């Protein structure tokens, strides 16, 4: 069973060009880590991957067609149980900017719908699959999968958000050029040192960008990640890094990963969980027999979208309980902070 699970994980992540890490934990008894798959060539002779520069260019063209500013009013799939919950009183609608990797890519429409329905939020999303923190830093030049117009600081100057929500699994495969080849499985200490430094730099650039345009400093919301079937300790340490950075800069952590974890085992990966009370009230979200709901597809152990993977990254097009759970947790965090 273990061998079948590991094989499925690797196959699923190779298919997706995923943003996780294939390296097995030391002493975990898992299979040895395979070499990271090579990124596609940029001269067109290799098969496209959704984590290389070709995908970034495709995403840029997509955003031009749809209109990046139009994402603030884009209507994502409506989630049950959110209508009628719009905030009342004199508080202005918060401006929320959502950045991240392939998890944010699949979550973005559902999160936008939840934030608009509950808080009347003015919402903009600019995720890119396969990215990590350094991709959103300014001055990375060609070594970034995020175009200059969508860097975190650039968007903060333009949009003046009240909240910047950051959701990153912690890309550790070496797909991301700006990491300079640092990978978790081969350079573990260097990986965490670099990741912590990039978290500090990104926070600093967001703060400086707001100051440049005379805007109030936005609150940064770090989204904690759910269990990783292959490298559970890596995700635990990445989440702790987010907590330390938030504490140091007066920002927030949304423990959305807990919503997709077993109640008694925060970092134990499972494909399905018992339905929540809200899911039982809306049975379409209880996808499995016996009052349980699926978080992942059987061929994808990382993402939460229950639709099949496509070569072109996209917001999730089908109801997916894991995405809704994460979106609700982030919305709760923003709502609590907006009331203060």
Q: Which residue has the higher pLDDT, 65 or 160?
A: 160
Residue 54 confidence (pLDDT) above 70? no
**Could you give the CA distance from residue 19 to residue 205 in angstroms, rounded to a whole number?**
23
Angle at 107 between CA 183 and CA 47, to 5 degrees: 50
pLDDT at 90: 52
Residue 1 confidence (pLDDT) above 80? no
pLDDT at 35: 32
Q: CA-CA distances (angstroms) from residue 98 to 133, 150, 180, 198, 221?
A: 13, 11, 25, 18, 9
Tokens at residue 340, please?
A: 């203060």
**Could you give the CA distance from residue 239 to residue 233 in angstroms, rounded to a whole number?**
10
- The tens digit of pLDDT for each residue in 262-312 reads 999 999 999 999 999 999 999 999 999 999 999 999 999 999 999 988 888
Kindly report which listed range (12-26, 132-146, 297-311) carries the lowest average pLDDT score. Answer: 12-26
Q: Could you tell me the strand order of the sheet in which 252-254 lies? A: 122-125, 95-100, 163-167, 219-223, 252-254
Q: Which residue has the higher pLDDT, 97 or 14?
A: 97
Q: Are 278 and 287 in contact (CB under 8 A)?
A: no
pLDDT at 140: 85
Mean pLDDT for the chain overall: 80
Residue 76 confidence (pLDDT) above 80? no
Segment holding 274, helix H or strand E: strand 272-274
- The tens digit of pLDDT for each residue in 184-238 reads 989 999 999 999 999 999 999 999 999 999 999 999 999 999 999 988 999 999 9
Confidence bin at 91 (pLDDT 50/70/90): low
Helices (H), the chain: 2-16, 53-66, 102-119, 152-159, 188-212, 232-249, 277-281, 321-339
Helical axes 232-249 vs 188-212, angle rounded to 10°: 30
pLDDT at 17: 41
Q: Which residue has the higher pLDDT, 245 or 61?
A: 245
pTM over 0.75, yes/no: yes
**Could you give the CA distance from residue 126 to residue 144 in angstroms, rounded to a whole number?**
14
Confidence bin at 74 (pLDDT 50/70/90): very low
Kindly report which listed range (14-28, 147-161, 249-263, 279-293) carries the lowest average pLDDT score. Answer: 14-28
């Amino acid at each position: 069973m273990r061998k079948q699970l590991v094989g499925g994980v690797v196959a699923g992540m190779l298919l997706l060009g995923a943003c996780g890490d294939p390296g097995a934990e030391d002493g975990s008894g898992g299979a040895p880590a395979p070499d990271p798959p090579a990124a596609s060539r940029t001269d067109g002779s290799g098969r496209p991957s959704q984590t290389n520069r070709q995908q970034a260019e495709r995403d840029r063209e997509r955003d031009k067609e749809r209109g990046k500013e139009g994402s603030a009013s884009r209507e994502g799939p409506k989630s049950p149980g959110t209508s009628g919950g719009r905030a009342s009183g004199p508080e202005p609608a918060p401006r929320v900017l959502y950045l991240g990797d392939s998890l944010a890519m699949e979550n973005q429409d559902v999160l936008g719908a939840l934030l608009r329905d509950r808080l009347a939020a003015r919402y903009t999303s600019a995720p890119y699959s396969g990215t990590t923190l350094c991709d959103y830093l300014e001055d990375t030049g060609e070594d970034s999968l995020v175009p200059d117009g969508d860097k975190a600081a650039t968007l903060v100057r333009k949009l003046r958000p009240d909240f910047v929500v950051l959701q990153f699994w912690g890309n550790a495969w070496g797909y991301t050029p700006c990491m300079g080849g640092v990978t978790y499985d081969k350079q573990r200490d260097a990986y965490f040192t670099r990741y912590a430094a990039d978290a500090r730099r990104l926070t600093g650039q967001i703060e400086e960008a707001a100051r440049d345009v005379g805007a109030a400093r936005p609150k940064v919301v770090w989204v904690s990640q759910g269990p990783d079937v292959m490298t559970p300790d890596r995700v635990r340490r990445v989440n702790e890094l987010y907590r330390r950075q938030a504490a140091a800069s007066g920002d927030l952590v949304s423990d959305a990963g807990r919503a997709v974890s077993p109640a008694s085992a925060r970092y134990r990966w499972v494909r399905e969980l018992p339905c929540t009370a809200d899911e039982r009230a809306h049975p379409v979200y209880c996808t499995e027999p016996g009052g349980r709901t699926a978080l992942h597809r059987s061929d994808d152990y990382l993402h939460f979208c229950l639709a099949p993977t496509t070569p072109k990254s996209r917001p999730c097009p089908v109801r997916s309980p894991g995405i809704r759970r994460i979106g609700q947790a982030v919305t709760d965090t923003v709502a609590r902070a907006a009331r203060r």
